[in-house]
Amino acid sequence: MAISVDGVWQDREIRFDLDARYLKLCPGEVLVEQIDNVEDTKGSNGDQGTLRITNLRVIWFASAMPRINLSIGYNTVNGGTTKMYTSKVRGPAESLYLMAKNQTSRFEFIFTCQNPNDSRFFSAALRMHRAYETSKMFRDLKMRGSVVTQDEQLKLLPGETLAERAEGVWNLSSETGNLGVLLLSNIRAVWFASLNSHYNVSIPYLQLASCRIRDSKFGYALVIETSLSSGEYVLGFRIKPDERLHQVSKMISVLQRAYLKKPNFGVKFQKEVVVNEIEPPPEQEKEEKDMIIDNRQLRADAFAAYFTDKHKSDGPRTPVFSEELGVAIEELKPGFTLSDLWNIHVESIK
């Protein structure tokens, strides 16, 4: 099964309480570590679950009710660390902290492991995030980047192979056009100007929405449209003769189809080898467990459970007297009531 352009959301979004099918690995996604008996301390304190670390995201789901789950894409994570935290299950324990954000909100996620020996695997999430951040050329459209060498050869990414080099390709972005070279690999299409190699564009097949031949004021041209997430650019290239134009267009389509069947996201990993006679050999990969669909009601507000103040540097809020409780409490966030906070973790029990 191949993925579709703009269909890969796993690394770019934070999603709560997904249907079980969306927790399955997508093509090109690889399970790096799986840790059982992990508590989602921030949003489901006291509930045990499973933490999965892949090359695109961090997944957690509750053991008793898998419909309570999280999917945190590495592209949304802007900070992470491990430190001590007090949970209902273990008390003081080493926990994984992840700070993340979407377009409008910031979130804080805390995961605590019941087995202190398993907490060492938390570092895998931080390593994968760093690997993700340093491999964006595999996934993101890049203009005027360092993509070719001084002798005009493509700087190959790990696992990248050059499939075609087309000389005399005109970029039609200006009135007169710019003469350059089009390079096609198993991961992306790259064009650079012959007079200035720093004037270039790198288009991963993951961001290539369409490639077709159209008539233009320059004659028939190769028109490449990029995906919504990359800015929806429209790039035109003139290639002569027309027979060569059709060959290049067909090759791009073939290379992209092959890539989407088994995408290379560029996030490399190396599992830590732990010497333990009871555990299976390191080369034996952990199989995904079947998840039972539970139709019980979900928690009232998963979004609010992980929401964090935008300006944490302001310090704790001022204590105020609560007539409802008869004690002094920390001032609530705007829009929240005591009832809202009390109901965050409520689940209906059959």
Could you report the per-residue pLDDT of 217-274, keeping only the tens digit for each? 888 999 999 999 899 999 999 999 999 999 999 999 999 999 999 999 999 887 655 4
* Long-range contacts from 96-103, C-beta under 8 angstroms, 24+ separation: 96/122, 96/125, 98/58, 98/72, 98/125, 99/308, 100/14, 100/72, 100/76, 101/76, 102/13, 102/14, 102/76
Percent of the chain whose predicted confidence (pLDDT) is above 70? 80
Q: Which residues pair with 51 in a beta bridge?
A: 35, 60
Give CA–CA dist 266/239, Å, rounded: 30
Q: What is the pLDDT of residues 57-96, one digit of tens each?
A: 999 999 989 999 999 999 999 999 988 776 666 667 788 9
With b for 16 or more beta-carbon neighbours within 10 A and e for fewer, the 249-279 pattern comes to: bebbeebbeebbeebbbbbeeeeeeeeeeee
Tokens of 179: 């003469």
Residue 197 has pLDDT above 90, yes or no: yes
CA dihedral 336, 337, 343, 345 (to 10 degrees): 50
Tokens of 294: 């539970």
Tokens of 80: 């992470």
Query: What's 1-135+265-313's CATH class?
Result: mainly beta
Residues of the chain with CATH 2.30.29.30: 1-135+265-313, 141-261
Look at residue 234 in the predicted model and tell me its pLDDT: 94
Look at residue 287 in the predicted model and tell me its pLDDT: 46
Look at residue 71 in the predicted model and tell me its pLDDT: 97
Give CA–CA dist 6/324, Å, rounded: 49
DSSP symbols for 278-299: SSPPTTSPPPPPP-----SPPP
Q: For residues 229 and 12, is the Cβ–Cβ distance under 8 A? A: yes
CATH value of 141-261 in 3.30.470.20, 2.60.120.10, 2.30.29.30, 3.40.50.2300:
2.30.29.30
Give CA–CA dist 280/193, Å, rounded: 53
3-state DSSP call for residue 277? coil
pTM of the model as a whole: 0.77
Q: What is the pLDDT of residues 92-146, one digit of tens each?
A: 778 899 999 988 889 999 999 888 788 788 999 999 999 999 999 999 999 999 9
Give CA–CA dist 131/74, Å, rounded: 10
Distance between alpha carbon 53 and the CA centroid of its chain, in Å? 11
Look at residue 103 in the predicted model and tell me its pLDDT: 84
Give CA–CA dist 25/20, Å, rounded: 11
